[in-house]
Amino acid sequence: MIRIENLVKSFGAFNAVDDISLSVPEGAFLVLVGPSGCGKSTMLRMLAGLETPSGGTIAFGDRIVSDGNRGWTIDPAQRDTGLVFQSYALWPHMSVAGNVDWPLKIAGMARPERQARVAEVLTMLGIAPLATRYPNEISGGQQQRVAIARMIAPRPSILLFDEPLSNLDAKLRVEMRTELLRVHRATGATSVYVTHDQVEAMTMASHVAVLNQGRVEQFGTPEDLVRNPATAFVATFVGTPPANLVPVSVLPRERAASLPAQASAMYRPEDLSVSAIPIEGSLAFDFAEASPVAGRTMLTGISDSLRITAVVDAAPRFAVGDKVHFVLPEAPAALFGANGERLS
């Protein structure tokens, strides 16, 4: 449904998006995830037609909608897409029903059809009782639902979300994730969702593109990214908590003997154990924090710039600054080279 080939967006000498190619199947829920400044929102704006690429092409189905090599892009209104912004961008002088009705009116839909469609989507989002209220009379979560209703009302084939939940509190974010997935399934549209929150990415996506410095570090299913990270960046960015990367040079001798000296070893938090005393195969860290996670305990230690996390069934009680000995498995789950590339 979406085909991106060699996509580039430059601002002067800086490439915010740097030679990205992706193919997204119809009906997929693609999440673009990465740290601030990685290019994910710029990429979404190009999909929406709000930015013209500096190079490469974007196609929806068999139709080219942007060609950076020729310097043209199809107008946003002609792309059959819907977009929800982080700020919701509701018209304050229009009621809830008026906000949802407006794009249908612009599209030339007859009044009876518009009224039926507005009622349908307001019911779908559970906000029909708010139809006559104005944006300043409803909560942030309700405003978000209005923005989504307005987006899906014209039945676009592609839905674009630019960090739509970032203004909501933690509990409402969880509820709205479920709501967005329900809307995605109900519409049958292909969705592209931008977030810096990898928990959102891993719980919502059918496909994930992890972006870093304008490039795609890895593209695949959430399971692929967690089980087989392609780069050191992906290994330490995805997962709850993410994997630990430990330079081979600081490993215990018995763990480092057969490993490349300049590599970093990946250990999953659930594969580590902890001890209050030094034992074979362990590394000593200063205790930083502990927190309960789904009936287990997540412990974190720090040593200079190195941070390590273990998820264990039970652990001794530690005070901040105590020495905690993290016991490593005999073999790491993966090895990464000095440039972040996966070695094994």
pLDDT cut 70: percent of the chain above it: 100
Determine the 3-state secondary structure of 109 from DSSP: coil
The architecture CATH gives domain 2-236: 3-Layer(aba) Sandwich (3.40)
Answer for the pair 211, 217: CB distance below 8 angstroms, yes or no: yes
Average pLDDT score, the chain: 93
- What torsion, rounded to 10 degrees, do the Cα atoms 42, 44, 47, 51 define? -30
Answer for the pair 326, 283: CB distance below 8 angstroms, yes or no: yes
Give the total residue count for the chain. 344
| For residue 85, pLDDT beyond 90 | no
| For residue 154, pLDDT beyond 90 | yes
Tally the C-alpha atoms within 13 A of residue 169's C-alpha that lie toward its C-beta.
Answer: 4
Report the C-alpha gap between 213 and 217 in whole angstroms. Answer: 9
Residue type, 65: V
What tens digit of pLDDT does each residue of 122-146 get?
Answer: 999 899 999 999 999 999 889 989 9
Full-model pTM: 0.88
Could you please report the per-residue DSSP string of 230-272?
Answer: SBHHHHHHSBTTBPEEEEGGGS-HHHHTTS-TT-EEEE-GGG-
Q: Is CATH 1.10.10.410 what the domain over 246-336 is classified as, yes or no?
A: no
At residue 147 the predicted structure's pLDDT band, cuts being 50, 70 and 90, is: very high
Report the C-alpha gap between 37 and 196 in whole angstroms. Answer: 10
Residue ranges per domain, the chain? 2-236, 246-336
Mean pLDDT of all residues in 18-42: 94
What tens digit of pLDDT does each residue of 239-267 get?
Answer: 889 999 999 999 998 898 889 989 999 99
